[in-house]
A and B are shown apart, each in its own frame.
Chain A
């Protein structure tokens, strides 16, 4: 059998070394041995690995064979004896072909480690990049960032390069400036600010604008006394190109917003809220930015901006403002505040959005409650109004609705308010959801104070009587649908379920990513798989039963139109002044 060394050599001679390394033939070999032999053969000049990879192409973004071959090169790289002049074109090619894949990052990290260990290579590499920016501009920023954070000269070089004739070099340099840890280099920060301001004045290219904003924000985060300069720079871009600027600023806020100054945040949020471009396409990015801020202790400002945006661009649901909804759900106190404030709001988009911050239809860890700080607890009309609003919007989220109504009962100052909301709890929740939801209410009741508990227990008692009455009505034979009708309905219902199941499967990332195998019998799946060493292994996977249980409210069956009419009336109700 031919060894790795012979194989590499043979394919090199045939002019197909790179092709061989990306082929599946490599699967049967010890990969570490291949890397070792490649470096050795290169170093004794029997093959030229650097040249072999100079033209390696990535056919598609998911070209596994390209990354397999490139990985071999990256692993061999520290051992290769070569010159920077030979190496840089290969690095640039592999980086370009990798696109934004993590494989490219690994390549550059390895390369920069190499540069740091060979200072003259770093200088030469920067010189090569400056002289041929079209070829090498992509690697400039990574080299400056990875090597520059510990090298004051390199940071100064980056500032200097930000004024280079080539726009690609300028972009790379300013981008690197947006990544430096400026706190460690106060002396250079002022020059850097000057440089980015110069860019903002001299360049109109959108990419320059983006990296300039990033650099300015990074600098102002390190030197808050300079925040005004960053704001002024962003303000200028907002005037010139609002949509692009907002989208980019939102992206920056998502990752770095927590470190920004108050005034900068206020300015950016104001820009979001007043976005005259009405560009709904930017909403997902802004949503992600707001979500990041909502997760931080500085959520107050972002909440107001979010409300403005929801009002303008439509309700929060399973497609819109998803990140913000997730952030709100993750913070019970914020969830309480938002639910209470938005349900009371006369703006339809806000009250409708409360459904999106409800956890789910299953029993939640932290269900929505009312926030007493947002309420006048002595105002019976307001509490009743809020209860009805919550019913209108959260009827299909019975756990959240139960918890919300109970929290209203808890904070209500007047008996009248408690009694009113208790009736709602009984008629809308306990009568409609006699199973787990009622058990949930019973559990909550135990934790409540005396007055609230009495109200809830009364509701529970009335509901129990209602269900007892229903339970006493056995199926009346003469009222049963005919056999033909029963069969027709079962057929219809099973088709609906099947359709829902199929639609659900298409939405599931898991089910749509992997091929499915249908098992007709048994309770476990037996498979024989081949591991990396080529050995076959027997694997047994026990099957799991996945069931879901959803209570269908009685009113949906006995009075669907009446229920919808009532819920619609509750949803559109407005608080009388």
Chain B
């Protein structure tokens, strides 16, 4: 296990990776982290600052300067203001005189140089010499926390047998070993996450520890996935970790318990990891191919139309989700520059979605009815970007026309099957089969809702015509949250919510929308969802995408209002 952790630490970058892990580790060790990494603000060489006692020793102030990977001759020669030597000087000459909190001024200070790898021999001699000469004073010492030491601390404070029992370690190791087979890796990670959620129920402290363990294990899985060149397992696992963590911290946030802030910090570190995974995956696997005709379809490396269809709708859902996270970041930030950057990043996602749809005709017709969820997310991104209804209506119209043609021709029309074996055999002949395959639908009501929101009356009429001709037997429906949703939405462990049945798409746009609105008003449980109340609405969408639940229509009806 130590080897795994060391390898993971060595692979971490400073920004948003190692500097996120170290505060969590220190917190878990019982130290009080009073300063975390910030951006754009002067930290006088200190990336993380904490106070407390380690292994029963005296209380000390620990000031960390952090560097990713190894430290070698070139690093020593670095004379930039961001170099380790410059940071250590800043700590000694600027931070210590002015920035130490008053209540801790009398405590001994330990300046820690933390790095994921190790200090190479040549640099080590020079660095030790520098420390001897420069880091001098009463109550002032210096330490080097290399990957070996960090791994030891992680093992002692996170992965102890009593904290992470053998069965959970086994699941974790299997998840890591199978990152090339994401389905299997995810299955093991899911068991691990489930165990952590259960073990966190015993006390707030255990809960916090579980969230931190989720963060750590997600991070390690990310590192291994990145090394293997396949981020799929990491993506899916980090989504699950995010949802599981939110499930664990949501009550603490409401009750404002003592460790609520620590929980939020631990949770945010998981969000950060998830967004990093998402971004790396998009940058490496998706965006370079988004504008090329059929490129992403071919990239699935499958002869099966079913595989291409399933993967591409999943891709669209993920791209949209990433764009929506960017919009959420813009919404939360007070910094205009950060806001602008986040919106630009979201716009890039919007354009990517449009390109992917245009260049990959498999996206012109979903094979599974629940791909309406990914369609909703993509349309919601476009809608949130205020780009006008053109792209939404075009895509919805194309899907409707293609579905109409496929239903009439008996070719690959959208079906409600989920099992892969059934999907590759779809469609079979016969009316009875068609009725079974299209017994219900959220796809057409979703398209209808968007048609109504965008004022596309003709499109809604076409969907209505489809309903009254070839899909008379199909129960057009939509899901609304209920009072059980909050308890099960994030873990996806039980059925929850209620479905409005027999939605009539033949109604006029206004009447159709009014009915959906009325139901949104009646299903007020959406507003009571913890993620909505705490302004973490993307989590609801992540839960819908991950657990295949239709996104709440409150999002668009509210926006409309």
Contacts and interface: CB of A to CB of B under 8 A. Distances in A.
Interface of A: 466, 469-470, 473-486, 488-489, 492-493, 552, 554, 556-562, 564-565, 568
A565 B402 contact: yes
Nearest to A478: B232
B295 A478 contact: no
B275 to A, nearest CB: 16
Chain B, interface size: which category?
A: 35 or more
Given A469-B293, A562-B402, A564-B411, A479 B301 contact: yes
B524 interface: no
A470 B300 contact: no
- Overall SS of chain A's interface: helix
Contacts of A484: 183, 420
Contacts of B315: 479
Contact of B424 (A489, A560, A568): A489
B294 interface: yes
Contacts of A493: 303-304
A481 B406 contact: no
B491 interface: no
Interface string B412-428: 10000000110011000
B485 interface: no
Nearest to B367: A561
Nearest to A559: B361
Nearest to B292: A469
B183 A482 contact: yes
Contact of A558 (B308, B412, B420): B308
B306 interface: yes
A492 B425 contact: yes
Contact of A483 (B183, B295, B298): B183
B235 interface: yes
19 contacts: A466-B294, A469-B293, A473-B292, A473-B295, A473-B299, A476-B301, A477-B285, A478-B231, A478-B232, A482-B182, A485-B307, A492-B425, A557-B297, A558-B294, A558-B297, A561-B402, A562-B402, A564-B411, A565-B406
Given A473-B289, A485-B307, A562-B364, A479 B299 contact: yes
Given A477-B285, A562-B364, 15 more contacts: A470-B294, A470-B295, A473-B299, A474-B299, A477-B180, A479-B296, A479-B301, A480-B302, A481-B311, A482-B183, A483-B184, A488-B420, A557-B304, A562-B361, A568-B409
Contacts of B305: 556-558, 560
A485 B420 contact: yes
B405 interface: yes
B285 A479 contact: yes
B182 A478 contact: yes
B35 interface: no
Contacts of B232: 477-479
Given A477-B232, A484-B183, A564-B409, A469 B295 contact: yes
A561 B302 contact: no
Smallest CB-CB A-B distances: 9 pairs: A475-B301, A559-B361, A477-B230, A478-B232, A482-B183, A558-B297, A476-B299, A481-B307, A562-B361
Interface string B218-239: 0000000000111110010000
Contacts of B364: 559, 561-562
B113 interface: no
Contacts of B406: 561, 565
Nearest to A564: B411
B170 to A, nearest CB: 21
A357 B530 CA distance: 68
Contacts of A559: 297, 361-362, 364
Nearest to A427: B293
B319 interface: no
Interface in B110-153: none
Given A480-B302, A492-B425, A560 B412 contact: yes
A466 B365 CA distance: 23
B427 to A, nearest CB: 11
B300 A480 contact: yes
A483 B365 CA distance: 25
Contact of A489 (B184, B228, B307, B409): B307
Q: Which of B281, B292, B300 has the most CB of A within 10 A?
A: B300
A321 B306 CA distance: 38
A439 B103 CA distance: 82
B340 interface: no
A481 B302 contact: yes
B417 to A, nearest CB: 13
Nearest to B179: A477
B360 interface: yes
A470 B298 contact: yes
B194 to A, nearest CB: 20
Contacts of A565: 402, 405-406, 409
Nearest to B421: A488
B181 interface: yes
A482 B402 CA distance: 28
A478 B281 contact: yes
**Interface-central residue, B229, B235, B360, B420, by most chain A CB under 10 Å:** B420
Contacts of B293: 466, 469
A561 B306 contact: no
A462 B274 CA distance: 40
A89 to B, nearest CB: 61
A476 B302 contact: no
A488 B306 CA distance: 12
B521 to A, nearest CB: 38
Nearest to B301: A475
A568 B402 CA distance: 12
Nearest to A483: B181
A75 B181 CA distance: 79
B181 A479 contact: no
Contacts of B289: 473, 476
A478 B307 CA distance: 13
B361 A558 contact: yes
Nearest to A487: B420
B512 to A, nearest CB: 27
A498 to B, nearest CB: 15
A260 to B, nearest CB: 46
Interface in B172-204: 180-184
Given A473-B289, A483-B181, A489 B299 contact: no
A488 B424 CA distance: 9
A557 B303 contact: yes
A564 to B, nearest CB: 6
A477 B229 contact: yes
A564 B365 CA distance: 13
A476 B302 CA distance: 11
Contact of A554 (B294, B299, B412): B294
B424 A492 contact: yes
Contacts of B411: 560-561, 564
A478 B409 contact: no
Contacts of B421: 488, 492
A432 to B, nearest CB: 10
A478 B230 contact: yes
Nearest to A471: B298
Interface in B19-74: none
Given A478-B182, A564-B409, A473 B298 contact: yes
A558 B412 CA distance: 12
B238 to A, nearest CB: 13
B358 to A, nearest CB: 12
Contacts of B184: 483
A486 to B, nearest CB: 8
Contacts of A488: 420-421, 424
A263 to B, nearest CB: 48
A489 B425 CA distance: 10
B125 to A, nearest CB: 43
